Chains A and B, each alone.
Chain A
Amino acid sequence: ETGVTQTPRHLVMGMTNKKSLKCEQHLGHNAMYWYKQSAKKPLELMFVYSLEERVENNSVPSRFSPECPNSSHLFLHLHTLQPEDSALYLCASSQDPLAGAGANVLTFGAGSRLTVL
């Protein structure tokens, strides 16, 4: 496996369910990110982890709970979601978590398409 892998690719859940999205990166990167992509809106940064420590939480509702057990894995735990949470959730990683100099490119996974009924 190479790059950034996200599972599941598609998820349908009811508002009372609890589910988790998983992200795994095989690039040896030190930072991982969760982005939300809703229709006709710019990507929204949700969380940033640097070396397994959360460094950014962009006012995300508590029904989204991230977990980063190691530098290669990132989870997004979901519970009591709302229909407006339906979106594509993209995971990304980068070599350097904080430095803004140079390209320091974010490498994205293919996303998990979430539908909340």
Chain B
Amino acid sequence: AQKITQTQPGMFVQEKEAVTLDCTYDTSDQSYGLFWYKQPSSGEMIFLIYQGSYDEQNATEGRYSLNFQKARKSANLVISASQLGDSAMYFCAMRRSAGGGNKLTFGTGTQLKVEL
């Protein structure tokens, strides 16, 4: 069975600073995908970034980067130059690439608050 662990229920960061949100995962699969989603108070889950288990380089999307350490089974999200609008819940998720269809397993999330 797959499992996602996010150990930080809440994080604070000052505006313009960088922040790292932790995510570890457990799977026996060799092929899988890792995702990060953002959920503002409005409720919508917004896709941020994707990393395939065989991708050699860490994924980057604008101010978001994924620090993928396969041997440690970690997929931390790094947000650079934090903005007030980054305040939200952040979810790490994993999907099996073989035989699992397009079903995501989510972590419990990290509440990020960006302060002035």
| A interface residue numbers (CB < 8 A to B) | 9, 31, 40-43, 45, 48, 55-56, 88, 90, 92, 94, 96-111, 113
Contacts and interface: CB of A to CB of B under 8 A. Distances in A.
Given A40-B108, A100-B102, A101-B97, 20 more contacts: A41-B108, A42-B4, A42-B106, A42-B108, A45-B103, A48-B102, A48-B103, A56-B103, A96-B102, A97-B102, A98-B102, A100-B33, A100-B95, A100-B98, A105-B35, A106-B45, A106-B47, A106-B102, A111-B43, A113-B43
Contact of B45 (A40, A55, A108, A113): A108
Contact of B47 (A40, A97, A107): A107
24 contacts: A9-B43, A42-B4, A42-B107, A45-B104, A56-B103, A88-B43, A90-B43, A90-B45, A97-B102, A99-B101, A100-B33, A100-B98, A100-B99, A100-B100, A100-B101, A102-B52, A103-B33, A105-B47, A105-B50, A106-B47, A106-B102, A107-B47, A108-B44, A111-B44
B91 interface: yes
Contacts of B102: 31, 48, 94, 96-100, 104, 106
A100 B96 contact: yes
